[in-house]
Amino acid sequence: MSAISVGQAVILGAVEGVTEFLPVSSTGHLKIAEGLMGIPVDDDAVVGFSAVIQVGAIAAVLVYFRSDIARIVSAWTRGLFRAEERQHHDYRFAWWVIFATIPIVVVGLAAKPLIHGPLASLWVVAGSLIAGSAVMWAADRLGRHKRGEDDTSFKDAMLVGGSQILALLFPGFSRSGATMSTALLLDLDRVAATRLSFFLGIPALTGAGLYELKDALGTGAGAAPLIVGTAVSFAVAYASIAWLLRYVAKHTFTAFVIYRLAVGVLLFGLLGAGVLEG
């Protein structure tokens, strides 16, 4: 019997799609939703399901940014065979994304028992939501927002890519929140920070989903819930990406900071009252 029903998969897919690229922590929201539905958050099948439906959100990024991705991959391919192409920003950017993904892969494999064990606690999620809010608030105000996407460097990519480790170890911190905050501290403008977060998330999240697929199918997460959850995640994430890019072009991250604080405090309250188990 599947650990997650098709109906629950629809809800979790929608939660994943809405929150994966917003700086509010998709992992944290998934764990909260799972807890409210009585789904054990530390069950292997549930952990695997959560990772696999991220592939739907990543597919939405691939489709939404298909022209950008095609341009970058084309430049990278040309640069492999033609030295004169290697000075092109897109060629270098492709390598930066690859190198920037290595830290999170290494930590993810080394710390898997902790990530799927003690660090999967809802208490950790609540604390990380609040701590991440403070970082985001400071980054949005301290950053000078003077650098665009074409101004990014190898150092930027490595620092922003490495910051994904915070969300990996502390669910609730938010991968998007960590990467966007780091980019803002490096003086990128909000749109450039958001787009860089998207591109750096593609290999890391795709790899995590594919890595967990075998375990998810082998530990009770049925094929039907996985397919439904992934499809819903794709559709909702596509809409979320379009909305977020329009939003950050004209607004600060204050609304996300307030929302994260509210959810973190509420979660601490639910845990303290025994409504949810940590």
* pTM for this predicted structure: 0.88
Burial class (CB in 10 A: 0-12, 13-18, 19+), 173: buried
Q: What is the mean pLDDT of residues 113-136?
A: 90
- Which stretch of DSSP H or E encloses residue 133? helix 122-142
Q: Average pLDDT, whole number, for the chain?
A: 90
Identify the helix (H) or strand (E) that includes residue 160.
helix 154-162
**CA atoms within 13 A of residue 127's CA, in its CB half-sphere:** 10
pLDDT band at residue 219 under the 50/70/90 scheme: low
Mean pLDDT for 253-269 is: 95
The model's pLDDT over 83-114, given as tens digits with 9 standing for 90+, comes to 998 999 999 999 999 999 999 999 988 998 88
Dist. CA 244–CA 113, nearest whole Å:
33
Percent of the residues in the chain that have a pLDDT greater than 90, as a whole number:
65
What is the pLDDT at residue 276?
80
Rounded Cα distance between 264 and 260, Å, is 6
Please give the pLDDT value at position 1: 43
Q: How confident is the model at residue 73 (pLDDT cuts 50, 70, 90)?
A: very high
